[in-house]
């Protein structure tokens, strides 16, 4: 396939991606990376959403010819169902070859460092690595060590950028159905979510989903409320960025919200924290009565895995307000766009700033 | 050993308040004479002395670092006593106090002596600090008498705190009996499990567990309470690498109450804040962690007002592969011997107007006094000829690749500092000099 046969949408994507390459500041990371939502400009976000729509609506067989046999590695140091499957299906549906490396069945078990694992994957021909890792910031290290585009599929309790993007896509698609003003123009601006309040409830402290959403949604004009007990939501959380505040009373938060995002209590990360679940459920479980009383029209999101009967009841999870399965669906589209962006963006030509003599 | 005649320089000796043009004659490793410019010429000739033209230079007591990790025995892939003291000499230090968290832990007279043996090939004088408790496990107090006799100048479990009240009390009392200071690494490890940076908004955003200021100040306050109980004894509590405003406040109150409590601050804590972590830069990971802007301001304030007794580097070398890890997994610490004077001059002298003599006092005279390093940190006649020569105003750039330390884990690579060191003399021996330094042998006619 010569360059002239390249479908137009692909060229557009490459062009846009290239234009977004940071010109002024030296960055040690490949510009096709998705390490943190803070690295995306609003135009980047717009492009990713636009591209995800394009790729999704494309006939399956054409989509599968876009990146034939391009190599992508999934490097997973933590267990995962939906994120891993979603990335893998996204890559395969674009025609890519994927290989899964997980911590328990590789040389990682023998003590190989993240840097060496990354460089080995690069030497094997991987053009992009999707990384899930229990340590916050690990994708930065991998990006620096390999020079490859790295897609952060969740690092410790830091970020989960693709989740925030798919949450955004879910919110926009639901709200657009209701609000005609949102229908026009796909351009993402700092007014796109003006007037929308999103409440994120539960184990904020250990949630990378909460952080990515709180760093992304306010830039589009949304207001984010964190809700939870102090043990899971320290006061410092409100300082994460503009547009974020704390409302510990769930009813008060719900009454102001158009979107409510429930989080799982991450028992594996509690690290000795003693949490009494009974009073927690009393105050923070999302059940039908609470939802009908305070926010009957609110959109209910959950990044999964859900613990039914703990933070959310089955009635709500399966009810009309819930968009949990739509989130999963949007995930694949977003991840296709991120993978395409990763492979289409040229590495920054800027060199490390020379040291003065 | 040849005599050395250093002439034409500006001598700053905080121990006796000299801040004037003086010539210096060194003989047999000691300061032999000190006089106005030119006056030692005849004597130097007679001694056939090596002549050092120090015109335009500051001549000061060799710097004293009471907190370094030389990694020997046991971790020579990070540093050896030879490489660490060479870095010390390049940074103007002529005395370094080596912390006991070696492998094995220095809790014996044997290791204490081994570290000082001539075979270690040290370029600066090494004073071991022995472990306060057996294996630094915080349970059984060591025999301080034996350790002191072997050359230990203080006791500490640095890297870990002495956590139990009764054990700490015993350490203080036992050390008081033999006249050794107890150096406390003030960190309540019950509150800092899994933490890798300062607690607060930035830690939350980066998804890293944080160490609170209370985890530091709580131990300092506890130790001061213990010290009160044995007031009247010779007990001396010294707080290592103090990093928070609240711990500083506790030390200030202790001093006002007339207790013998002292503290040191590391250059990185007054030069950087937690913002230096940036994109998970492990060269900004140390323990105690880099703190907030307010803490940094309080540290500088207390250096200026005299609450702080010494600047100490906490020089902590680590191999490249150890630092090139996930932030939470990377070891704590940075190298510091070659950048300490530069940072102190840049931040304290240039930016905050601290007089040069005060900066040098914090880096030599005062730390030497704290650990009773007699005849060090001063240039009076009869004291050890530990001398540093530097150009106060000449800017230079620190390049970590050229560091004398075996490890290159410094966040200050590429930084420009005032105060280029021209020469370091340790006990009358030139242990470091820049390439261009002219040394002439005087010809006796």
A187-214 average pLDDT score: 95
In this structure, chain A runs to a length of 357
Whether residues A272 and B193 touch (CB distance < 8 A) is answered with: yes
Confidence of residue A10 (pLDDT cuts 50, 70, 90): very low
pLDDT of B386 strictly over 70: yes
Per-residue pLDDT, A96: 97
Whether residues B327 and A145 touch (CB distance < 8 A) is answered with: no
Who wins on pLDDT, A105 or A190?
Answer: A190
> Nearest CA to B162 among B215, B112, B223, B228?
B223
Q: All domains of chain A, ordered by start, with CATH?
A: 3-159+331-343 (3.40.50.1370), 161-330 (3.40.50.1370)
Confidence of residue A105 (pLDDT cuts 50, 70, 90): confident
Tell me the sheet residues that pair with B197: B210
The string of pLDDT tens digits covering residues B294-353 is 999 999 999 999 999 999 999 999 999 999 999 999 999 999 999 999 999 999 999 999
Distances (CA, A) of B40 to A210, B5, B45, B46: 73, 8, 9, 10
The string of pLDDT tens digits covering residues A278-303 is 899 999 999 999 999 999 999 999 99
Whether residues B325 and A141 touch (CB distance < 8 A) is answered with: yes
CB < 8 Å to A245, chain B: none
A14-43 average pLDDT score: 72
CB < 8 Å to A208, chain B: 207
Counting Cβ atoms within 10 Å, is residue A303 exposed (0-12), middle (13-18) or buried (19+)? buried
Per-residue pLDDT, A218: 98
Give how far A70 is from chain B: nearest CA, Å: 28
Whether residues B204 and A140 touch (CB distance < 8 A) is answered with: no
The string of pLDDT tens digits covering residues B250-290 is 999 999 999 999 999 999 999 999 999 999 999 999 999 99
The string of pLDDT tens digits covering residues B62-79 is 999 999 999 999 999 999
Per-residue pLDDT, B388: 98
The string of pLDDT tens digits covering residues A120-129 is 999 999 999 9
Encoded tokens for B325: 């890890």
Whether residues A234 and B204 touch (CB distance < 8 A) is answered with: yes
Whether residues B207 and A141 touch (CB distance < 8 A) is answered with: no
Which residue has tokens 């005062």?
B366
What is the domain class of B62-370 according to CATH? alpha beta
d(C-alpha B135, C-alpha A315), whole Å:
58
Domains of chain B, by residue range, sit at 4-59+386-403+411-441, 62-370
Whether B204 has its CB under 8 Å from any CB of chain A: the answer is: yes
pLDDT mean across residues, chain A: 88
CATH fold of B4-59+386-403+411-441 reads Urease, subunit C; domain 1 (2.30.40)
Whether residues A137 and B199 touch (CB distance < 8 A) is answered with: no
A95-113 average pLDDT score: 87
Query: What is the share, in percent, of chain B residues with pLDDT greater than 70?
Result: 98
Encoded tokens for A153: 């599929």
Query: From start to end of B8-74, where are the E strands?
Result: 10-13, 18-21, 23-27, 30-35, 50-53, 58-61, 63-68
The string of pLDDT tens digits covering residues B99-140 is 999 999 999 999 999 999 999 999 999 999 999 999 999 999
Confidence of residue B81 (pLDDT cuts 50, 70, 90): very high
Distance of CA A283 to the CA centre of its chain: 28
d(C-alpha B386, C-alpha A246), whole Å:
59
Confidence of residue A4 (pLDDT cuts 50, 70, 90): very low
Q: What are the two backbone dihedrals, phi and then psi, of residue B72, each rounded to the nearest 5 degrees?
A: -115, 135
> Nearest CA to A347 among A3, A24, A32?
A32
Among B193, B201, B280, the residue with its CB nearest the CB of A137 is B280
Selected residue of A26, A136, A150, A200 to mutate for chain B interface (largest B Cβ count, 10 A): A136
Q: Which stretch of A76-80, A193-197, B298-302, B310-314 has the lowest confidence by average pLDDT?
A: A76-80
Tell me the DSSP string of B119-163: GG--SSEEEEEEESBGGG-SSSB--HHHHHHTT--EEE-TTS---
Give how far A230 is from chain B: nearest CA, Å: 13
Whether B330 has its CB under 8 Å from any CB of chain A: the answer is: no
Give how far A147 is from chain B: nearest CA, Å: 15
Confidence of residue A21 (pLDDT cuts 50, 70, 90): very low
CB < 8 Å to B328, chain A: 135-137, 156
pLDDT of B423 strictly over 60: yes
Q: Parallel, antiparallel, or unpaired for β B154-156 and B125-131?
A: parallel
B231-252 average pLDDT score: 96
Per-residue pLDDT, A22: 40
Would you name the residues of B annotated as active-site residues?
314
Selected residue of A236, A271, A354 to mutate for chain B interface (largest B Cβ count, 10 A): A236
Q: Which of residues 240-279 of A touch B (CB under 8 A)?
A: 240-241, 271-272
Tell me the DSSP string of A32-100: T-BS-GGG--HHHHHHHHHHHHHHHHS-HHHHTTSSTT-EEEEEESS--SHHHHHHHHHHHHTT-EEEE
SS (H, E, C) A202-253: CCCCCCHHHHHHHHHHHHHCCEEEEECCCCCCCHHHHHHCCCEEECCCHHHH
d(C-alpha B423, C-alpha B430), whole Å:
7
Give how far B331 is from chain A: nearest CA, Å: 14
Q: Which stretch of A2-16, B91-105, B264-278, B426-440 has the lowest confidence by average pLDDT?
A: A2-16
Whether residues B329 and A135 touch (CB distance < 8 A) is answered with: yes
pLDDT of A23 strictly over 90: no
Whether B203 has its CB under 8 Å from any CB of chain A: the answer is: yes
In this structure, chain B runs to a length of 445
pLDDT mean across residues, chain B: 96
CB < 8 Å to A137, chain B: 206-208, 279-280, 326-328
Per-residue pLDDT, B232: 83
Give how far B131 is from chain A: nearest CA, Å: 30
């Amino acid at each position: 396939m010569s360059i002239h046969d390249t479908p137009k949408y692909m060229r557009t994507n490459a062009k846009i991606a290239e234009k977004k390459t940071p010109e002024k500041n030296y960055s040690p990371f490949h510009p096709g990376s998705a390490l943190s939502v803070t690295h995306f400009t609003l135009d980047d976000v717009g492009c990713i959403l636009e591209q995800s729509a394009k790729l999704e609506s494309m006939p399956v067989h054409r989509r599968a010819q876009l990146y034939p046999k391009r190599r992508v590695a999934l490097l997973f140091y933590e267990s995962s169902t939906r994120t891993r499957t979603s990335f893998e299906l996204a890559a395969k549906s674009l025609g890519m070859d994927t290989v899964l490396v997980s911590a328990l069945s590789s040389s990682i078990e023998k003590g190989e460092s993240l840097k060496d694992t990354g460089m080995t994957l690069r030497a094997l021909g991987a053009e992009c690595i999707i990384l899930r890792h229990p340590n916050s910031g690990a994708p930065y290290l991998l990006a620096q060590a390999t020079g490859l585009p790295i897609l952060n599929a969740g690092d410790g309790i830091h970020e989960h950028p693709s989740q925030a993007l798919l949450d955004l896509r879910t919110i926009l698609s639901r709200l657009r159905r209701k609000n005609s003003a949102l229908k026009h123009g796909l351009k993402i601006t700092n007014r796109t979510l003006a007037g929308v309040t999103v409440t994120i409830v539960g184990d904020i402290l250990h949630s990378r989903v909460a952080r990515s959403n709180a760093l992304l949604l306010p830039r589009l004009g949304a207001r984010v409320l964190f809700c939870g007990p102090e043990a899971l939501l320290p006061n410092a959380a409100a300082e994460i960025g503009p547009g974020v505040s704390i409302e510990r009373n769930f009813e008060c938060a719900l009454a102001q919200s158009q979107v409510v995002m429930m989080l799982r209590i991450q028992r594996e990360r509690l690290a000795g924290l003693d949490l009494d679940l009974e009073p927690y459920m009393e105050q923070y479980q999302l059940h039908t009565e609470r939802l009908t009383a305070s926010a009957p029209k609110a959109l209910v999101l959950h990044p999964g895995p859900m613990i039914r009967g703990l933070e959310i009841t089955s009635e709500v999870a399966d009810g009309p307000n819930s968009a949990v399965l739509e989130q999963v669906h949007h995930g694949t589209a977003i991840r296709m766009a991120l993978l395409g962006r990763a492979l289409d963006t040229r590495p920054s030509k800027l060199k490390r700033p020379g040291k003065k003599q | 050993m040849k005599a050395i005649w250093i002439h034409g320089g500006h001598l700053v000796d905080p121990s006796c308040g000299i801040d004037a043009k003086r010539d210096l004659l060194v003989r047999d490793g000691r300061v032999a004479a000190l006089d106005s410019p030119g006056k030692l010429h005849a004597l130097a000739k007679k001694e056939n002395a090596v002549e050092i033209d120090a015109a335009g230079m500051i001549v000061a007591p060799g710097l004293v670092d009471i907190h370094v990790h030389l990694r020997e025995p046991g971790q020579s892939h990070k540093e050896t006593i030879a490489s660490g003291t060479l870095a010390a000499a390049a940074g103007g230090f002529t005395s370094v106090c080596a912390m006991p968290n070696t492998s094995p832990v220095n809790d014996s007279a044997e290791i204490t002596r081994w570290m000082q043996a001539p075979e270690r090939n040290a370029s600066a004088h090494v004073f071991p600090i022995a472990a306060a408790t057996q294996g630094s496990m915080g349970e059984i107090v060591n025999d301080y008498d034996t350790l002191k006799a072997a050359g230990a100048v203080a006791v500490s479990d640095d890297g870990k705190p002495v956590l139990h009240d009764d054990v700490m009390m015993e350490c203080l009392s036992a050390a008081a009996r033999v006249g050794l200071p107890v150096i406390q690494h003030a960190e309540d490890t019950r509150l800092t499990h899994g933490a890798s940076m300062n607690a607060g908004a930035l830690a939350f955003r980066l998804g890293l567990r944080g160490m609170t200021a209370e985890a530091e100040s709580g131990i300092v306050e506890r130790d001061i309470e213990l010290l009160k109980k044995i007031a009247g004894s010779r007990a001396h509590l010294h707080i290592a690498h103090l990093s928070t405003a609240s711990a500083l406040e506790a030390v200030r109150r202790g001093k006002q109450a007339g207790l013998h409590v002292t503290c040191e601050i590391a250059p990185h804590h007054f030069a950087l804040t937690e913002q230096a972590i940036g994109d998970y830069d492990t060269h900004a990971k140390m323990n105690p962690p880099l703190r907030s802007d307010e803490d940094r301001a309080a540290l500088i304030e207390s250096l200026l007002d005299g609450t702080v007794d010494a600047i100490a580097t906490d020089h902590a070398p680590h191999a490249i592969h150890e630092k090139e890890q996930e932030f939470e997994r990377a070891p704590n610490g940075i190298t510091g011997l070659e950048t300490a004077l530069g940072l102190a001059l840049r931040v304290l002298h240039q930016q905050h107007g601290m007089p040069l003599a005060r900066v040098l006092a914090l880096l030599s005279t005062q730390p030497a006094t704290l650990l009773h390093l007699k005849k060090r940190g001063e240039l009076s006649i009869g004291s050890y000829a530990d001398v540093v020569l530097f150009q106060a105003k000449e800017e230079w750039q620190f390049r970590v690749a050229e560091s004398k330390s075996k490890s290159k884990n410094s966040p200050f690579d590429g930084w420009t500092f005032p105060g280029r060191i021209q020469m370091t003399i340790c006990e009358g021996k030139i242990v470091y000099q820049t390439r261009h330094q002219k040394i002439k042998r005087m010809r006796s006619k």
